[in-house]
Structure 1
């Protein structure tokens, strides 16, 4: 359009058109990538129901170890991975990671022992380490602060798509039991690994670069959009992520509090994702029924998470939504853990999933808003049918998430009041270059509450 050269930051019609253009180009690719990421992350829970432990001669806690070891490299390599992503073309790096773990998933279907499966899970964790932070990093570079929860919520709909697909695929692929001489769990890994390889090729073709280097926007659109991002209190955003900068960032109290929040929600989120079929089977349901009835839980939680994300972005508030969602998760887990009627326990699974997955997008975007995590618990078979230790841990972490949210809210509210009173105005006397490096410490910046 010829009028693009006259774009201004106050043009709502053009803003809406260009943001939609970005949404349509970026978000479908990220949703696809994170769908297969999460599908591959939790498919071990479905594979467990199709003779995996028997075929691999797994005993005691070996299954739980296979689940746990995935998270060790995942945690260790998340920050180094983002330091790499900050310096390379996103589509090369992210699609390469997806191809590597897709092939690993596929070949893990040939495992002959618990050791082979555990080794594959370590490699998958290593390759997947860059995916979630990479997706969030891209969203953070493309959207303003109060546009993020909606996009992060859409990204985490991938969890629900994967949760639904995992149950349905687990039931369908598991029924291939004996085909070609392979058990149902092998077919789950074969097919889902191949799906990831296809997603890697798609991302290589379509994933865009960072805003300043994008090619799908016209020059005038790109210039306008970059100025729009810089106008959103994003001082110093173009700086490269370096080791000392990363070390300084992770010692910031806001980052620590955000990590506490994310740890609180992630424990419960992965417990639901990986062990939901196991918990449902403890209701006395067949393996097939447990797989199938895990799907509607995730569908409902996905609808809620996007709706709450849009609402949160619209009112530009985070704390009320985070605290209330954690509370819903606590109530849901208590119902699953303490009551006897199967119908009430199943309803509790809905509440636990809704509260937990609402929080995922909210706490991530809230942490990014202020400046700019994953763990595991076990559900051994001996704790069936109520799983008091595992569900009790989920409740404890959700409760700690409420505490973390309150800490974040009150400290940030107090700092906003100081800036409103002018207590930080002395920083305006600094040279312009030093002001640019202040980031969220600049007196014009206001924390999201």
Structure 2
């Protein structure tokens, strides 16, 4: 009996413990899993892991985007922000956010997400609280810069963390369960801000300052709780039995061609494989274009609503920002759920882009307030699901844990370059119609459609080329480490669109 045939009879405990790869050289799993046991384990992980990271990410996004609500409540006037000062305040956040993105995710792997995610959450909670006490443009820019440093590790860190627990096909839907907090933050943030503004004061603080103080305190409290509740990885999960821990490890390992361990040691080759994979770079550029829309909507939705309903009260304007986000949240979960069932992501990129395109065409073609307000629903429906789908896509198209951390960090870094662009897409001189911002977003959504179709066709063509390779001949003479370092260049690897 061959070694590969021997391995087919391993238990999940042996597969988890021994230094064997859990796939053959062609990337086929050597272990058969019981679907019912997997389903029970998956539900247990869902209930223990997802709620904590979702709550943290909700307040991560609220702490970032609440400046839009504060602007409506008098922030610009009190801090004497003129002309493009508000755009500059938004931009400074993205500079530190972008620079720290990949280093933060490498730190997350090095320290362990169970410690890193609560620590960085506490950091941005403190920064949000600090924003309540600023009195000048330079002070708010300094606090926003530090907010970017601490928030940089959140989106990629949680995506990387969940990739330790879930299979490739399952990941997009689980990512959506915390990324849905972004549109919900838009909805909940608007409700929370309008509620806070009804208070006469909070300590010595008044008006917009109360928004930052109260929301920052909530974030800090959630972060402290997370230090005690967030389990670093399956092997350390005390709420799983030994058999369940072994199954959790073996499931993830069974999809990683040539890898003998789930959590490998960092090495330069794998980091570079993750960053410079064609699948990573193509998907990351799509996320960059998408994030111009998503972040622009988060920062400027209250402003757009104010131009549509100029005579409404500030609280009414805040509440009008809520319904589009609720609809967007529904699609943020629906599309990744479909992705889980189909084990496909690129076809959902292709299906989502036209919704955004139609929304911006409506906004540009009509000055009717209700038509424009309706357009925001379509835009939110098509745009918000890309956060989960693109991170799942780059995760599915690398092999090692190190390459995965680097790929997700790269994807989110590119996405936040889009966020930086978005801060300059809706400019004061362009209101109330914002032809530049809306035209730019129509162009980006159209480009997403073309790029997604191109990436899908390229992956299918490259997979056909790989079918003709002699895997054993190409791997002959290579050490185990050299084979592992090939990552997506391994001849048995196939792109997963």
Q: Give yes or no for the alignment of 1:262 onto 2:298.
A: no
- Residue 44 of structure 2 is aligned to residue 21 of structure 1: yes
Q: CA deviation at 1:428?
A: 4.5
1:332 — aligned with what?
359
The alpha carbon displacement at 1:138 in A equals 0.5
Q: How far is 1:248 from its partner?
A: 4.4
Partner of 2:349: 322
Kept after mapping to 2: 8 A contact 1:319/1:409: yes
- Say if 2:105 and 2:156, in contact at 8 Å, map to a contact too: yes
Q: Which residue of 2 aligns with 1:87?
A: 110
Match of residue 256, structure 2, among 224, 233, 240: 233
Q: Report the Cα distance in structure 2 between the residues aligned to 1:48 and 1:370, rounded to whole angstroms.
A: 41
CA distance in 2 between counterparts of 1:18 and 1:354 reads: 31
User: How far off is 1:78 after superposition?
Assistant: 1.2
Rounded to whole Å, the distance in 2 between the matches of 1:198 and 1:113 is: 28
Which of residues 418, 422, 425 is equivalent to 2:465? Answer: 418
TM-superposition CA deviations, 1:111-158 (whole Å, max 9, x none): 111111111100100111111111011011111111111111112111
Distance 1:421 1:76 in 2: 41
Structure 1 length-normalised TM? 0.94
Query: Does 1:302 pair with 2:329?
Result: yes
Instruction: Report the Cα distance in structure 2 between the residues aligned to 1:51 and 1:298, rounded to whole angstroms.
Output: 23
The answer to whether the 8 Å contact 1:212/1:222 transfers is yes
- Corresponding residue to 1:399 among 446, 452, 471: 446
CA distance in 1, matches of 2:282, 2:455: 7
Name the counterpart of 2:131.
Answer: 108
- Cα deviation, 1:238-284, whole Å, max 9, x if unaligned, reads 32334554344323322211210110111111001111011111102
Report the secondary structure of 2:73's partner residue: coil
- Take 1:73 and 1:235, find their aligned partners in 2: how far apart are those partners? 37
Q: Higher relative contact order at CA 8 Å, sep ≥6: structure 1 or structure 2?
A: 2
Range with greater deviation from structure 2 (363-372 or 183-192): 363-372
Superposition CA RMSD, Å = 2.2
Q: Which runs of 5+ in 2 are unaligned?
A: 1-10, 16-30, 399-403, 405-413
Comparing 155-164 with 424-433, which one deviates more in the overlay? Answer: 424-433
Q: How does 1:40-439 map to 2 (within 5 A)?
A: 40-176=63-199, 182-233=205-256, 235-236=258-259, 237-243=262-268, 245-285=270-310, 286=312, 287-371=314-398, 372=404, 373=414, 374-375=416-417, 376=420, 377=422, 378=424, 379-422=426-469, 426-429=473-476, 431=478, 433=480, 434-439=482-487
**Aligned pair count?**
447
Instruction: Work out the CA distance in 2 between the residues paired with 1:130 and 1:5.
Output: 33
Is 1:447 aligned to 2:495, yes or no?
yes
> d(CA) in 1 for partners of 2:346 and 2:435?
29
Distance 2:173 2:365 in 1: 34
Gaps of 5+ in 1: none
SS in 2 for 1:410: helix
Offset at residue 424 of structure 1 (A): 5.3
Shift of 1:436: 3.5
Instruction: Report what 1:30 is aligned to.
Output: 53
